[in-house]
Amino acid sequence: MTLNFCSFSSGSSGNCYLIKSQNTALLVDAGISGKKILEGLEKTKTNLEFLSALLITHEHSDHTKSIKTLTKKHNNLNVYANKKTWEMINKDICKDQMKTFDTGKIFTIGDIRVKPFKVSHDAADPVGFSFYSRDKQISVVTDTGYMNDEILCEVENADILILEANHDIEMLKIGKYPWFLKQRVLGDEGHLSNEAAGQAIVKLLTKNKKERRILLGHLSRENNFPEMAYQTVKNILEEANYYIGKHVYLNTIIRDEISRTYEI
């Protein structure tokens, strides 16, 4: 049985990912237009009616924009978030479609097991997700200010890891953002830098040398670009004697493009 991942969009302008097995299709976040989500579903040959659920990482608009649109178009689509996140989402959603999970507890949707785990971001109760199908695992960690041991433990065995590489620190510091916003992004409840992403991957490889693919995501439009994110992480890996194509496979998700489908 295969487990697939596709990014419909990843970044501060909007986020939406597809996780798909033979029998179950899930969306992570709906922070882009309904039209673009439908385009992604069509490109991946996923009927809207085949979607079992939409899972929400946190309440910010670049993750929740089209919840109402999707639930109107698909009356049987269940939307999952934890209690504190639901309290912050101001959407007109049918109560029957609103489902609540407990952060840290595994639940099952179709033939995919889902584990939400705590991350660090300036939201009510933000989470990352791990998805399991038999012995396969896909994990999503974006919108977090740091990668501590607890988060690393959650994703250590992931075959595919979507990992935030939001900004280049120097670009952010000299860029046009106001100082308070720079402090927010750089803080413990902000976003991972390219450097932090690279250091996290080194820790993962040191803990567990299994074959895996890392997809760098949630790149800032103003403070990063794909080639810089990739090269920064590559340099950090090579300084630790880890090499792309030998110890790890590395790709960068282009912010506003529907990605290729990755399969395990």
**Helix, strand or coil for residue 192?**
coil
Per-residue pLDDT at 92: 84
Per-residue pLDDT at 91: 78
* Nearest-angstrom CA–CA distance, 94 and 91: 9
Q: What is the mean pLDDT of the chain?
A: 96
Q: How many helices (H) and strands (E) does the chain have?
A: 9, 14
Structure tokens at 51: 């979607």
* Overall size of the chain counted in residues: 264
Tell me what percent of the residues of the chain surpass a pLDDT of 70.
100
Q: What is the rounded average pLDDT of the residues 175-179?
A: 92
Contact 137, 164 (CB under 8 A): no
pLDDT digits (tens, 9 = 90+) for 196-235: 999 999 999 999 989 999 999 999 999 999 999 999 999 9
pLDDT digits (tens, 9 = 90+) for 15-66: 999 999 999 999 999 999 999 999 999 999 999 999 999 999 999 999 999 9
Q: What pTM value is reported for the model?
A: 0.97
Per-residue pLDDT at 44: 97
pLDDT digits (tens, 9 = 90+) for 111-135: 999 999 999 999 999 999 999 999 9
pLDDT of 1 over the 80 cut: no
Q: What is the rounded average pLDDT of the residues 85-114?
A: 95
Per-residue pLDDT at 253: 97
Enter the DSSP assignment of 55: E
- Which residues are CB-neighbours of 95 under 8 A, at least 6 positions away? none
Strand order of the β-sheet with 136-141 is 107-109, 112-118, 127-133, 136-141, 160-164, 213-217, 249-252
Helix ranges (H only) for 175-225 are 179-186, 194-207
**Helix, strand or coil for residue 180?**
helix
> Could you tell me which of 78, 91, 102 has the C-alpha nearest to residue 27?
78
* Nearest-angstrom CA–CA distance, 108 and 80: 12
What domains, with CATH codes, occur in the chain?
A: 4-263 (3.60.15.10)
